[in-house]
Each structure stands twice: as structure tokens, then as C-alpha cells.
Amino acid sequence: MYYIDFLTEVHRRHRPGAYLEIGVASGKSLRLAECRAVGIDPAFAITAPLDNDVAVFRTTSDEYFNRPDPLQATGGQPFELSFIDGLHLFEFALRDLINAERTSSPHGVIIIDDMFPRTVDEAARVRHTDAWTGDVFWIIDVLARYRPGLTVVGVDTRPTGLLLVFGLDPSDTTLADHYDEILADYRRADPQPVPDQVLQRSIVFPADRLLESELIEETRSAETPAAIQANLQRVAAARLGTAFVTA
């Protein structure tokens, strides 16, 4: 399944009250939102027709989240769906994840693009290929190590896969508290030592199977982060089995 088709279905099923997109580019994914949407990109070049309630900011995500009130554009409503497709370097994607969760509802879902490079060259920090994921894939291991409460699932979409993060806790500062330590452990010089399970996509699920698992619907099964996380992990184990990627 092409990633835009998958995102379209996620919007339809989840029906977020507020949507965040980091890395707007031409606007082809931003236009999917049927709610108040915030797009962030210092160099967007929108060509897709936008006929929705959207605010686009020509700035970096770091600058945006350093504002006194990042939720001003939504009237204070936390994001319930976020799509991270910004600069494909590990440290930037990690900061985007931290900031997206901080401004999200516990019912939210964060989707990170370009998580499964097809070659070591595509995973390079210094871009030298047409298609490029960078070293964002390291986030999979970081979440497994630092955030055991999250449910994290790789999805086999074209061209370079997605990572879905469920069970958000906006009050959790673990990743921010350990940010420097994480960079020291995971930021590597090229060529990247990409794990075989990433290159071979042995830890991802077909898009249809993820949609059929009802994990998206389960994000609204309770009110507190702890209760939502427990329900998500129960459903993931039952519907996806032990192979699902869980942090």
C-alpha cells in the first residue's frame, strides 16, 4: 500500500480533532486532514489543492515548538494525529517525536515516515541517493530501550515504510531527559550499521493487517495514558502477536 493511501485510511478511522504535520513539502498529505491542521516546514512548496482548515508555518520544527504556546494555532486543542516527515536525521526526528508527544492527547497517534531504508546507502546521514531515509530508523531501538509503555508498530508501506507510535503520554519526559545520552549512543558515522531486520522489513506488518487490528480505535478506549497503554498492548498482543514492535 502506498503511504498516502494508508494515511488517508488512518484519518478516516481515527478522526482526529487536531492534526500536526512536520515536513509539508507539496501538501499532498496535509490536505488529508478534515480537522484543524498545523503544517510546519521551512521550505514548503505547496502544489496540492488545500481546501481544509489549515495553518502552515514556514519555519523549522525546533523554532515552532520553542514558541510560548505551540497549540495556539489549534485553540489549545492537543494534536490527536501527527505525521513526522521532516529532516531525515536521527536527532531531528527524535526531537520532533519528543515535541509531538508533548503537545499530543493521550488518545493521539504519531506516525513517522521513512523508517525502513531499502539499502545502506538510503540510510546515510549524508545524502547521496535520490530516495533517502537517513538514519531515522534508530528511533525504533531508542523507543524499545527508553519507553516500554508505548506500543510501536512498523508498517510496510511504499516506498520506505512507516512507524506508528500509540499510547502517548504528554507528561513523560524520559526521551528529553536522556536526549544527549541517546545521541552519544546512537548517532553513528556513515556507512550506517543498519540492522538486517530493518533492511529486510522483518519487523513490519502489512498495512491492511495493522488497520484490521483495531489499534487505532483502541486509542480511545480509556482516558488516562496508563489505561490506554495497557489496552493497546493487550490488543496488539492478541491481534498482531509477539512479533509486533513494542517499546
C-alpha 247/C-alpha 243 separation (Å) is 12
> pTM of the entire structure?
0.96
Residue 244 pLDDT > 80 = no
Please say whether the beta carbons of 149 and 168 come within 8 A.
no
Which grid cell is 148? 516500554
C-alpha 65/C-alpha 141 separation (Å) is 25
C-alpha 37/C-alpha 216 separation (Å) is 19
Least confident residue range of 85-94, 161-170, 208-217, 238-247: 238-247
SS (H, E, C) 169-182: CCCCCHHHHCHHHH
DSSP per-residue string spanning 101-166: HHTEEEEEEEEEE--S-SSTGGG-SS--SSS--TTTTHHHHHHHHH-TT-EEEEEE-BTT-EEEEE
The reported pLDDT for the residue numbered 242 is 59
The reported pLDDT for the residue numbered 45 is 95
Which grid cell is 234? 493487550
Predicted confidence (pLDDT) per residue in 177-224, tens digit:
999 999 999 999 999 999 999 999 999 999 999 999 999 999 999 999
Among residues 141, 153, 126, the alpha carbon closest in space to that of 182 is found at 141
Structural domains in the chain plus CATH codes: 3-239 (3.40.50.150)
Predicted confidence (pLDDT) per residue in 78-134, tens digit:
999 999 999 999 999 999 999 999 999 999 999 999 999 999 999 999 999 999 999
Q: What backbone phi and psi angles, to 5 degrees, belong to 107?
A: -85, 0
